[in-house]
Structures are given as structure tokens and as C-alpha cells.
Amino acid sequence: MSDAKIEVRNVTKVFGKAPQHGVKLLNEGMTKKQILEKTGMTVGVNKASFEVKAGEIFVIMGLSGSGKSTLVRMFNRLIDPTDGQVLIDGQDIVKMKPNELREVRRSKISMVFQRFALFPHRTVLSNTEYGLEVKGADKKKQREKAIESLKLVGLEGYENSYPSELSGGMQQRVGLARALANDPDVLLMDEAFSALDPLIRKDMQNELLELQEKMEKTIIFITHDLDEALRIGDRIALMKDGSIVQVGTPEEILMNPANDYVERFVEDVDLSKVLTAAHVMKRPEVIHSDRGVRVALQIMKDAKISSLYVVDKKQVLVGAITAEDASDALKSGKTIKDIMVHDIQTVTPDTLIADMFEQVATASLPIAVVDEQNRLKGIVVRGAVLAALAGDDIQLNGNEVK
């Protein structure tokens, strides 16, 4: 892929006395457990390979001990990989000499830490300036950049406070501001929100997503929290015992787990907060408003349905008719326009299922899914919602509307 910002190829980390020997054993097909039993060495990361596209939020998720923190530290070589390559913009980080690496750390990659890692003896402003300071940037420019960066994370007015005077959420904002001040392409976030309480965490997630809309950095986000991964990740890599188990979009991971481990991992996920109307809608049966009632009845009879949406020539939704009204109309000679119901429940394709429950429960007609121009894209019936929540992927894929 040409748009890959970061390519990770076979990156392996073995901790112990003879790491290279450990790599050899891995290549011979031994497992992490066997190597630990035989040599006492720990395989931190086992041949991880994936690509991260420019401008995406790539989440690496796994339980503690799965090697995710080790993996992310090999991106800026806080930990040196035992084997493999990490290419950022085509440059191999692993082969870099100390001064080249320092240059990359100063200008291309910044990191946000789980426990914030703010310097307690420096003010908020001076913490934010740190990266620019070691880079040797001009004093005035340092200050401007740092202030701008603090403004971005909403910490104006706290420049002269010390980190210990701030709450956890605010401290992590400083951590984020410090990382952004260098204007890096790549942001490594190691469990950046894990130490925050749930409400603050959600706020920070939203703010990160908002910031990302403006900045379009390439973000590698480490987390052990599946909900967090699903919320913010454009793509997710799942790790277990040092290996990447599956890489994919949140939907792919949820709907097509690569193996039992992933399946067990995701089985408790609240699907209604991940799946959207677009996932469960099906192709609508429609009729143009200038057609006759008889045609409408025929369509309903053929499709074995009891209601029909009415659209104009541009597929814009104008109303709906029911079979009952239609057969009455046939007797009394009314047209579709006369019997059409205008009060219709609509949602957009990206509405979460969780936000549709009430409509689904009370609506007498299937719910119409429309785009911004009010064009009918599909309909959602009660059964499809229930099937999707049950994790019935056959049902889902069968009805996917393109």
C-alpha cells in the first residue's frame, strides 16, 4: 500500500539473556510458552506486521501483558526491537543511529503516557515547551507554539500552574499539548486515557476525535478497553500473547471475529452502540407518487408486505401508504396522494441502533433511512434490529444495501 505512513514488518521483541536465540526459536515455530519453559526468556512481541495509514486512528488493543505497550515503544525505540523493521515514511527506525533517531523523536513522533509523565518541577507552559526546548527552537517561537498548543486542548490560563495543581484530566491535556507542540506527524498514545475516571475519559475521547478532525495526525492508540477501541478506532489491531490476532475496522472485528479468542473478547460488546442503521437496513420497496393505487397493491402483494414508501423521481421520500388504505382507495377511487401518510419516522444511515430503539418499538411502519437530501436509502424493520443485536451476521450481510 502506498498510503501507509507506518509499516511494521515482523517486529519481534524477546526479553532475556540471548534474545537473538529466542527469535531463532520463534522462527522454528516454538510458541511463547515453550520458549519461556525452555530458555526462561519472555517473548514480548511476536512477529507483529501491519500498516498504519496516514491520518487514521489505529488502535492496538489487548489485555495487560499482551505486549501492546512494548509494541508501541518500539515505534520510537524507547524499546529496541530484537528483530524486524519499523518503517515510518519508508525510513527504517530500527536501523537509525542515535542522532538520526533523536531527530525523528524531535520532529516526527510524539508520545502521550498513561500516567501523564509530566515533569513535576516545570510549569504547565514549560512542560509543553519541553520538546521544542530540547530541539533548540527559538525562545519566542517556543512560547508561541506552546501557548497555541495549550489553547488547542483547552488549557488557556493554566500556563503558570504546576502539574500537581491540576486534575488528572487536565494533566493529560498537558501531556497531549506537550506532544502536539512539536507538530509531529505521528502521535503515540499509550493507554493515554486509562488512568482517568470514566466520565472524563469519555470527554477526552470525544475531544481527541474533534482534534483529529482538524489535525489529521496519524495516531497509534493503545488501550485495554474494547469500548474505547471501538469508539475512537478507525482500525483496530487485537493482540494476544505478543501476537497480532486480527486487524480490521471495528465492524469487521465485531461481525467477523478471526478466531475464538476474538469472539470471546467481543461477545460482551453492546452491539447497539457500534452498529448503525446502515448495517441493518434493507432494500426498500417503493412506488412513485404518480403511479396508481392498483400498482401499489400489486407491489405489496408480490413482496408480501403491508406498507409501501412513496418517493418522487429523485428518490426523495414523500410519504407512505398502507395496504389497508390502498384497498379502500381502490373502492372509493382515491389516488396515492390522497391516502398518503406524511408523518414518517426517519433516521440517517449513521444513526446508532441504540438511538433507534424507541422509534423501532413504537413505529407502525418500518423506519425509513434517508440521507441529507431526504432520499430514501433503505428501511429498518424490527426483526433486522433484533437479529443484528443477536450477532446474526448472515442476516446482516444478506441485507446489506449498497
Partner 1 sequence: MSIPKIPLGDWVDTFVDLLQDKLEPFFDLITDGIGGFVEFIVWILSSIPPALLIIIFAAITLWVSKWTNALFTAIGLLLIYNLGYWDGTIDTLALVLTSVVISIIIGVPIGIWISQNDTAKNIMTPILDFMQTMPAFVYLIPAILFFGIGMVPGIIASVIFAMPPTIRLTNLGIRQVPEDLIEAANAFGSTTNQKLLKVQLPLATPTIMAGVNQSVMLSLSMVVMAALVGAPGLGADVYRAVTQIKVGVGFEAGLAIVILAIVLDRFSQNIGMKKRK
**CB-wise, 135 or 334, nearer to partner 1?**
135
Strand, helix or coil for residue 365: coil
- Residue listed under C-alpha cell 501523564: 116
Contacts of 375 (CB under 8 A, 6+ apart): 311, 314, 315, 316, 317
**CB-wise, 107 or 359, nearer to partner 1?**
107
The conformation of residue 45, written as its DSSP 8-state character, comes to E
The H or E element containing residue 342 is none
Q: Give min distance, CB of 168 to partner 1, in A.
A: 15
Torsion sign, CA atoms 33, 39, 42, 48: negative
Q: Give min distance, CB of 21 to partner 1, in A.
A: 23
Q: Give min distance, CB of 123 to partner 1, in A.
A: 13
Q: Report the amino acid identity of residue 77.
A: R
Q: Report the amino acid identity of residue 129.
A: E
**CB-wise, 174 or 321, nearer to partner 1?**
174
**CB-wise, 136 or 333, nearer to partner 1?**
136
**CB-wise, 56 or 190, nearer to partner 1?**
190
Q: Give min distance, CB of 284 to partner 1, in A.
A: 53
Q: Counting beta carbons within 10 angstroms of the beta carbon of residue 290, is it exposed (0 to 12), middle (13 to 18) or buried (19 or more)?
A: exposed
**CB-wise, 44 or 366, nearer to partner 1?**
44
β pairing state of 235-240 and 376-380: unpaired
Q: Give min distance, CB of 312 to partner 1, in A.
A: 58
Q: Give min distance, CB of 97 to partner 1, in A.
A: 13
Q: Which of 111, 109, 74, 70 is nearest to 95 (CA)?
A: 74
**CB-wise, 121 or 313, nearer to partner 1?**
121
Q: Give min distance, CB of 318 to partner 1, in A.
A: 58
Q: Give min distance, CB of 77 to partner 1, in A.
A: 9
Q: Give min distance, CB of 189 to partner 1, in A.
A: 12
Give the CA angle between residues 166, 169, 170 to the nearest 5°.
Answer: 40
**CB-wise, 93 or 369, nearer to partner 1?**
93
Q: CA–CA separation, 100 vs 235, rounded Å? A: 30
C-alpha cell at 380: 429498518
- Print burial letters for 26-44: b (CB count within 10 Å at least 16), e (below 16): beeebebeebeeebebbbb
How distant is the alpha carbon of residue 131 from its chain centre?
28
**CB-wise, 164 or 332, nearer to partner 1?**
164
**CB-wise, 106 or 202, nearer to partner 1?**
106
**CB-wise, 115 or 283, nearer to partner 1?**
115
Kindly list the residues in this chain that would bind partner 1 in the complex (CB under 8 A).
73, 76, 78, 101-107, 109-111, 113-115, 117-121, 130-131, 133-135, 178, 182, 188
Q: Work out the end-to-end distance of the chain between its first and last CA atoms, rounded to an integer number of angstroms.
A: 25
Q: CA–CA separation, 170 vs 305, rounded Å? A: 55
Q: Give min distance, CB of 163 to partner 1, in A.
A: 11
Q: Give min distance, CB of 214 to partner 1, in A.
A: 23
Contact between 196 and 227 (Cβ < 8 Å): no
Torsion sign, CA atoms 31, 32, 34, 40: positive
3-state secondary structure 230-281: HHHCCEEEEEECCEEEEEECHHHHHHCCCCHHHHHHHCCCCHHHCCEHHHHC
